[in-house]
Structure 1
Amino acid sequence: LSSVRVVVVGAGVVGFSTAVCIAESLPLCSVTLLAETFSPDTTSDGAAGILFSSTFPDISLERQKCWFKDSFDHLLAIAQSPHSSEAGVVLISGWQIFKEVPADKKPFWWDTVIGFRFMTDRELRRFPEYKFGQGFTTLKCECSSYLPWLEKRFRKAGGLVEKRKVNSLEDLSHHYDVIVNCSGLGSKLLAGDHKVYPVRGQVLKMEAPWLKHFIRDGDGKTYIFPGIHSVTVGGTRQVDDWRLQVDERDKESILARCSRLEPSLSSARVLSNWVGLRPGRRSPRVEKELVLLQGRRVPVVHNYGHGGLGVGLAWGTALDAFGLVRQCLHDMPLQAKL
């Protein structure tokens, strides 16, 4: 009996999470991961990787809750294991602050993060422009460690990794029985999805080891996320902006905004600048379809379009995508499996 051949396209946090789920849960499948870029050159690598979520309009809240909770529980187990430092997954506490009181004082994920509460007046005094805040402990997942760790885990489960550019799904249809598309922004071309657009993000990595707590403006544009080796300071959310070079004006704006929230940053050293394009979409696409490729119908499972929330939702959507792959195998005629 030859095994069913599954290919996963994309080596960001969504691609590797999905590949690991499939390889570990379906040992009889041969699973190959193909990508043009790998860590440290993926969009995931620049992400601050802090776990919280916002709401997507086209997906039931129940499913979004599952995605977030599954991801949180998976990463929490790693943070509390001997693998924490190698995998780059740690617990972090801090504040999310708002200039106006939000309609939802308690987001849907409030009971998944740890110790969620509203900030006291005394805590808020530190941020005079802000009227409301939430304090909680969540997770930070540093993809420059986490992706190589996932890759090791994937190879250990028998997965194959190949570096090459996939120009079209047709290229894959002869060699694989199921295609899993985790190509992020690449899905614009690969899946012909015009609903995917870039959201340009620029961040600085700074040396400020004295900072231990995160601070995030509720609008998502200004944030300070202390990590294992440096502090990620950001940011920008520029829709439909494809520029990958560092913009000096953005850099100055980020430093000014973040130093207002955390004055000690003004004496911190900038270690590096980074720009990445998040795969924006009204809602992530996690679904299967049968695509006619070179005269045969090939099942394709899509898992992309997470915007700036890829790290925090990756494991949850990977479990969903894995379930869809299992359905595809179930629906296959017997001769295809032989």
Structure 2
Amino acid sequence: MSEAELKKFPQHVFGHAFTTLKCESPTYLPWLEKRLKGSGVLILTRRIGDLWELHPSFDIVVNCSGLGSRQLAGDSKIFPVRGQVLRVQAPWVKHFIREGSGLTYIYPGISNVILGGTRQKGDWNLSPDAEISRDIFSRCCALEPSLHGACDIREKVGLRPFRPGLRLQTELLAQDGRRLPVVHHYGHGSGGISVHWGTALEAASLVGECVRALRTPSSKSKL
């Protein structure tokens, strides 16, 4: 950042300015779903407690259950990283602002501005904490004083499915003579939107390998 730009942040001695894009999940995910349905994909909603419940209805399973993989895949390495943010109306805020630690940030969007945040490892609590909200608002106002005039302040809490190392691999489950190929694809943490397209292509490649193996005459001996 230039000296003129840094004058807006007197508590900091250096910074970076750049142009980027922001992907808003509330709009993006419905668009993805519509795209899938348009290509003939059937979407079913169903609660399961075991991956074997999907067999024999499905030959291959892609496990994208996130934190649910603790139960479905027996993976104790995945855990929640609690994030609490504020959604406010402040349409005059047009630029992203993020402090070096990444815990304090201001992200303007189409319909509101996101103020954050927290990164609480192992915390499953989905209820907003009023004290944390006050701290978030105070930190963000220190970066952008005009936020004192923000209105319609709403609290939001989410659990990021974090794992020390994204799990992107094929596992062959076997039970009572049955076999079920499972492609695991979870553990993205807070970086899911950033890397999702690339990891989805990798997962699709693994599914392709499973399909080819099932179609091979000797697949029973291989799987």
In the superposition, the TM-score normalised over structure 2's length comes to 0.93
Deviation at 1:336, TM superposition (A): 9.9
Counterpart of 1:133 in 2: which secondary structure?
A: coil
1:272 aligned to which of 141, 147, 154: 154
Q: Match of 1:188, as an amino acid?
A: R
Q: CA deviation at 1:323?
A: 0.8
Match of 2:179? 297
Aligned to 1:304, the other structure's residue is in SS state strand
SS of residue in 2 equivalent to 1:188: helix
Which ranges in structure 2 are unaligned for 5 or more consecutive residues?
Answer: none
Match of 2:137 in 1: 255
Q: 2:74 corresponds to which residue?
A: 192
**1:313 & 1:125 partners in 2: Cα distance?**
34
Q: Secondary structure at the match of 1:161?
A: coil
Partner of 1:123: 5
For residues 275 and 293 of structure 1, what CA distance do their matches in structure 2 show?
38
- Can you give the 5+ residue segments of structure 1 that lack an aligned partner in the other structure? 1-118
Shift of residue 131, structure 1, vs aligned partner = 3.1
Distance 1:176 1:225 in 2: 41
Aligned to 1:241: 123
CA distance in 2 between counterparts of 1:305 and 1:246 reads: 24
Count residues in correspondence.
Answer: 219
Query: Which residue identity lines up with residue 165 of structure 1 in the other structure?
Result: R
Give me the whole-angstrom Cα distance separating, in 1, the residues matched to 2:20 and 2:86: 21
Cα distance in 1 between the residues matched to 2:22 and 2:39:
25
CA 1:132/1:176 → structure 2, altered by over 3 Å: closer, same or farther? same
1:280–1:308 CA contact under 8 A, matched in 2: yes
In 2: Cα distance, 1:291 partner to 1:129 partner: 55
Establish whether residue 231 from structure 1 lines up as the match of residue 113 from structure 2.
Answer: yes
Deviation at 1:266, TM superposition (A): 0.9
Structure of greater Rg: 2
1:218 and 2:82 matched: no
Structure 2 CA distance for partners of 1:262 and 1:326, relative to 1, 3 Å? same
Change (3 A) 1:191 1:151: same
Pairwise CA distance, 1:126: 2.0
Structure 1 residue 290 displacement after superposition: 1.1
Q: Deviations over 1:233-282 (max 9, x none)?
A: 11110000000001001100000000000000111013421100000111
1:122 CA drift (Å): 2.7
Residue in 1 that maps onto 2:60: 178
Identical counterparts, % of pairs: 52
1:28 maps to what in 2? none
Which structure exhibits the higher relative contact order, with contacts defined as CA atoms closer than 8 Å and separated by 6 or more residues? 1
Three-state SS of the structure 1 residue aligned to 2:75 is: coil
Asked if structure 2 preserves the Cα contact closer than 8 Å seen for 1:288 and 1:300, the reply is: yes
Task: Compute the TM-score of the two structures, normalised by the length of structure 1.
Answer: 0.62
Asked if structure 2 preserves the Cα contact closer than 8 Å seen for 1:201 and 1:237, the reply is yes
